[in-house]
Amino acid sequence: MKLYLPLAVVAAVAVAQDFDAQAEAIVAKMTPSQWIGQMAQANIGVILGSDGQLSVSAVTQCAKAGVGSFLNGAMPAAKWRAMITQIQSIYKANNAPPALYGLDSVHGANYVNDAILSPQQINKGATFNAKIVHDSAFVTARDTSAGGVNWVFAPGLDVTNHKRWSRVYETFGEDPYLASELGVAAVNGIQSVPGVAAAVKHFIGYGATSTGDDRAPAYLDDYQVLNYHAPPFIAAIQNANALSVMASYVSVNGVPM
């Protein structure tokens, strides 16, 4: 074991450096407009025709504009794979970087027909069981990936104690420690499926709106941010290497997130 562990570490570092080099090479070939386009994410309706089928011309326009990713939709896994394969082919033909596709798989792969569904996140929080959360997240990512979708918009790491807020059921509860521990378990479960990235959400203060109304402004002092709302995100990044973060839909102290 003493002999092989250092070799494994060296191999892992080499792979990471190789990925970094590939990413840097892709970025170096991109134009400024493509860099900007990477910040755009289009709803599936943008690339579907009136017949509900993928519009080659619409995808081509997105590729030329450098649109970086797409989201939404519901269909069987085989249809997902066929559509995403076609999107990538069109992007490649237009010398565009590969597009990402993401889904809000928040309680199982709920946008992949016939996938296994799990209880909502608040129910998982009530178990206080990290293994259940991890295993459920793994199944979610596995079933999402079966459709060729490699970006899972989960877990939700919002902390709230406002009963009026309409997305309480998408949280692990009001305890930042519990949200941190179960958030790490969920990210590890999702990212244990090869090629799948978690997107922890919603950074930050989304569950702390002043009125409890969805997407209303939040007003938080430093103590509240550092002790209640930031810890789950810090834990997910530091302890589980969460690969992406979804921004909140609110402003905090007048600053849009």
Q: Where are the domains of the chain?
A: 14-103, 105-257
pTM: 0.90
Reported as a single tens digit per residue, the pLDDT across 137-169 is 999 999 999 999 999 999 999 999 888 999 999
Average pLDDT of the residues in 220-245: 97
pLDDT of 14 reads 52
Distance, CA of 105 to CA of 179 (rounded, Å) = 18
The widest CA-to-CA distance across the chain, in whole angstroms, is 62
pLDDT of 169 reads 96
DSSP per position, the chain: -TTHHHHHHHHHHHHHHHHHHHHHHHHHH--HHHHHHTT-EEEGGGGB-TTSSB-HHHHHHHHHHT--EEE---B-HHHHHHHHHHHHHHHHHTTPPPPEEEE--SSB-TTBTTPPB---HHHHHHHT-HHHHHHHHHHHHHHHHTTT--EE---B------TT-TTGGGSS-S-HHHHHHHHHHHHHHHHTSTT-EEEEEEETTGGGBSSS-TT--B---HHHIIIIISHHHHHHHHHH---EEEEPSSEETTEE-
CATH code, 105-257: 3.20.20.300
pLDDT of 16 reads 57
pLDDT of 10 reads 40
Reported as a single tens digit per residue, the pLDDT across 177-199 is 999 999 999 999 999 999 999 99
Q: Is the pLDDT of residue 3 over 70?
A: no
Instruction: Report the percentage of the chain scoring pLDDT > 90.
Output: 82
pLDDT band at 119 (very low <50, low <70, confident <90, very high): very high
Average pLDDT of the residues in 120-135: 98
Q: Is the pLDDT of residue 176 over 90?
A: yes
pLDDT of 20 reads 86
pLDDT band at 31 (very low <50, low <70, confident <90, very high): confident
